[in-house]
Amino acid sequence: MELMELALNYVIMKFQEDFFMQILGIVMGTNLAPILTNIYMAILEEELYVICKHKNITWPKMFKRFIDDGFGVIKSNKKEFLQWVNEFNNLRENIFIDKWQFGNKVAFMDLEIFKGKNFYICGKLSIKVYQKPENKYMYIPYKSAHPRHTIKNYVIGELKRYVRINTEELNFLKIKNKFFLRMRNRGFKKNKLSHWFSEVKFSSRAKFLGDNLENNCYFQGTWETEADSLLIRVSEGILGAAIDPKAREATEEVVSEDDDHIAPFEALDDLEVSSLKVVC
């Protein structure tokens, strides 16, 4: 609690020769910010629910939020919906909903959620890629000093993302064509792009989505208190194997994903990482 009070109430910054103390909100960049924001917004939602129930204001059939971005479905007219928005905006002076959208589509994060053909068949909403008008598409250029496999993997990864968040193949093909032209503008060769693009097909959507209906977790976590000592042990093991003259020298041939040449690789078969820590 003392550390949290320090992070919230004693944020000092310097601009040129002057010092300033932040007196409103949470400083950007601290790991504490998204955690406290989620807790605080959840409290506001509970307050709003009680108020709406007391005043008989329509509550959304579904409401999901990611920190300060929300998506909801409400069965009401515009007037009733604006009542809900106004009640939320009256909760706090400096926290309010300033953007919303009526109609058959709405943007949420990197998605555009809309009433597609499935809506009129089975009542399901469809999604496609949403990209802000301000987006300059400054992708890493082909001549960057990044390793070749990194260049390829970010292109393939973006294509797989397009497959995952497009429920209709036509929308995938449209964004795929736009992405191809944007890559050409960043110096990518046409034949190289054509080869990579052919590897990602919309028919593999179930595979890219993971086909994990039970939402199982296959990762073994590590307690944060154990993470430092684990990293130290692994690092010392790698360093020791690298400088030990008696270490077994073995080489394997690895074919690059991008090029056809053979690259040497030193194998350290005796080293194992027993667990994985994911830091958010």
Confidence category of residue 181, pLDDT binned at 50, 70, 90: very high
Is residue 67 a part of any domain in this protein?
yes
Written as six digits, the tokens of 82 are 């604006």
The pLDDT of residue 269 is above 80: no
User: Is residue 166 a part of any domain in this protein?
Assistant: no
Statement: residue 251 has pLDDT above 80: no
Q: Is residue 74 part of a domain?
A: yes
The tokens describing 15, both together, are 């601009």
Instruction: Look at residue 37 and tell me if it is in a domain.
Output: yes
Classify residue 123 by its DSSP letter: S
Would 60 be classed as within a structural domain? yes
Looking at residue 212, its pLDDT comes to 54
pLDDT band at 221 (very low <50, low <70, confident <90, very high): low
Token pair listed for 105: 């589509």
- The number of C-alpha atoms within 13 Å of 63 and in the hemisphere containing its C-beta is 17
Domain count, the chain: 1
Whether 221 is covered by a domain: the verdict is: no
Inter-residue contact 55 to 87 (CB < 8 Å): yes
pTM listed for this prediction: 0.64
Place of tokens 């000592």: 229
Task: Give residue-wise pLDDT tens across range 49-68.
Answer: 999 999 999 999 888 888 88
Q: Tell whether 76 is covered by a domain.
A: yes
222 within domain boundaries: no
Residue 87, number of CB atoms within 10 A of its CB: 15
Show the 3-state SS of 193-237.
HHHHHCCCCHHHHHHHCCCCCCCCCCCCCCCHHHHHHHHHHHHHH
Domain that holds residue 25: 2-102
